[in-house]
Amino acid sequence: MKLQPSLVPACAVALAALLASARSVWQARAPWPLKPPAALSDGRPEKLARASELSCAPCHAAQVEEWAATTHALAWENEPYQEELVGRKKAESCHGCHAPVALHGALDALLAGKPQARADARHFGVSCESCHLATDGALLGPTGAATDEHATRKGTSFDAQGSNALCASCHRTTVGPVIGLARDFEQSAGAAAGATCVGCHMAPRAEVPVEGVGVEGRTRTVRSHSLQTPRDPAFLALGFELTLAHEPAGPTLRVRNLAGHRVPGLIGREIEFVATASDAALEELGRETLTLTTESYLRVDETLELALPARTARVRVLGRHHDPRMDKPVTFLERELGP
C-alpha cells in the first residue's frame, strides 16, 4: 500500500488553482443534500426522556422533539460523559460545555472566555437557553419574530455567518476526547466560500415567507435541530469525493475531504476504505486499504491517494466506519468507479 498526501503546491498559482477548485466543488454541493438523520443504532438512549419538561415544549414542540434526540440534549446524561467523570478531580471544568449557562450576554454578544457550568437542570445538557437566551431575558433567534409570550430579538449568532462563532464556543477547544474542529474549519476553503457549521449539520426543514416591507415573495429556510452525525451512514458518505485517476505512475484512487474539518473528528474513531481493483476483463487484481484514524487523519481540504495495481480499469470501494459508541462497524459507502 502506498499512502501519500497530495503534493503541497509549490507556488502561489497552484495554490490559487487548488483553492478555486475546492471552492467550485463546494459551491456545486451547496446547499448540502441533507435529509433528516437516520436513527442511531449505538445502544444509547434514543432521546432525552425529560425533554417534555422544558418550559419551551408547549410552544416549540418541533424544535424540542428534534433537539431531544441529539447528543446536545444528551451531553450531560450520556453514559460516555458520566463514565469519564467518575473519580475525576475538577470535573466542574468539564461541565461548562456539557451543561452550560446561557452563552449570550446583554444584546446579542457571545460571552467571552470558556463557557461556564450552570448550577441547575444539568440534565438538559446543551439546552435551548444555552444557545438562545440573553442575560436580559430575551430569546435570540434568526428573525426575532415578535410575540406576547416572551421578549425576542434578532441575534447575529443565528444568521448565516454569525452562527459559526456560536458553535465554536464549544467546538474550538481540544480537550479530553474532543478535537477543536472549529480551528480546522476557520482555515478551510469551504469557510472562505461561505460554508457554515449549521449549513452542514442542521438540515433544512421548511421554507417560510420572510416578513416585512420590501421583501414580498422572499423566503427563508427553517432548519431542523436534529444534528447530522457521522453515525448516519448517508451523512458520512457526503464527506468524501472518490475518483479513479490514471496517473503516469499508475492507477490511483483519490479520496478528497469534503467535510468542513479533519476526518475523523473525534478521538477513537476509524474510517476505512477498502478498494478492490479489477482489469478491463473484470479479473480481480488485488485489494488496497486506506485507514483514517486520530493519528493519520484526512486533513481539511486534503486529498489522499492510494496506488492501485498496474492494469486496474475498475475499482469497487467499500467505506467502513468504526465508532466505539456503536455496537459494530457500519458500511457507509459502496461505490464502483471505472470507465
Question: Which residues, including other chains, have CB under 8 Å from residue 7's CB and lie 6 or more apart?
Answer: none
Q: How far apart are CA 214 and CA 336, in angstroms?
A: 50
For ligand HEC, what does the binding mask look like between residues 229 and 268, x meaning CB under 6 A?
xx-----x-xx-------------------xxx-xxxx--
Question: Contacts with ligand HEC in 37-96 (CB under 6 A)?
Answer: 54-56, 58-60, 63-64, 67, 71-72, 75, 78, 80-81, 84, 93-94, 96
Binding test (CB under 6 A) with ligand HEC, winner from 22, 48, 101, 169: 169
For position 300 contacting ligand HEC by CB under 6 A, the verdict is: no
Binding segment (CB under 6 A) for ligand HEC, from list 200-208, 248-256, 301-309, 330-338: 200-208
Binding test (CB under 6 A) with ligand HEC, winner from 45, 177, 250, 309: 177
Q: Are 68 and 44 in contact (CB under 8 A)?
A: no
Binding test (CB under 6 A) with ligand HEC, winner from 102, 200, 244, 313: 200
Grid cell digits, residue 213: 416591507
In the complex, what is the shortest distance from the CB of residue 201 to ligand HEC, in angstroms, rounded to a whole number?
4
Cβ nearer to ligand HEC, comparing 139 with 277: 139
In the complex, what is the shortest distance from the CB of residue 214 to ligand HEC, in angstroms, rounded to a whole number?
18
Binding test (CB under 6 A) with ligand HEC, winner from 104, 201, 256, 314: 201
Cβ nearer to ligand HEC, comparing 129 with 305: 129
Nearest to 299 by CA among 148, 157, 179: 179
Question: Contacts with ligand HEC in 89-148 (CB under 6 A)?
Answer: 93-94, 96-98, 100, 103, 115, 126, 128-132, 139, 141-145, 147
Q: How many residues bind ligand HEC (CB under 6 A)?
A: 82
For position 226 contacting ligand HEC by CB under 6 A, the verdict is: no
Q: Are 252 and 306 in contact (CB under 8 A)?
A: yes
Give residue number: closest CB to ligand HEC: 141
Cβ nearer to ligand HEC, comparing 127 with 312: 127
Q: What are phi and psi of 145, to 5 degrees?
A: -50, 130
In the complex, what is the shortest distance from the CB of residue 228 to ligand HEC, in angstroms, rounded to a whole number?
6
In the complex, what is the shortest distance from the CB of residue 211 to ligand HEC, in angstroms, rounded to a whole number?
9
Binding segment (CB under 6 A) for ligand HEC, from list 14-22, 156-164, 242-250, 300-308: 156-164
Cβ nearer to ligand HEC, comparing 219 with 286: 219
For position 170 contacting ligand HEC by CB under 6 A, the verdict is: yes
In the complex, what is the shortest distance from the CB of residue 92 to ligand HEC, in angstroms, rounded to a whole number?
9
Q: What is the SS3 assignment for the chain?
A: CCEEECCCCCCHHHHHHHHHHHHHHHHHHCCCCCCCCCCCCCCCCCCCHHHHHCCCCCCCHHHHHHHHCCCCCCCCCCHHHHHHHCCCCCCHHHHHHHCECCCECCCCCECCCCCCECCCCHHHCCCHHHHHECCCCCEEECCCCCCCCCCEEECHHHCCCCHHHHHHHHHCCCECCECCHHHHHHCCHHHHCCCCHHHHHEEEEEEEECCCCCCCCCEEEEEEEEECCCCCHHHHHCCEEEEEEEECCEEEEEEEECCCCCECCECCCEEEEEEEEECCCCCEEEEEEEEECCCCCECCCCEEEEECCCCCCEEEEEEEEECCCCCCCEEEEEEEECC
Cβ nearer to ligand HEC, comparing 199 with 251: 199
Binding segment (CB under 6 A) for ligand HEC, from list 12-20, 191-199, 209-217, 303-311: 191-199
Q: Are 250 and 306 in contact (CB under 8 A)?
A: no
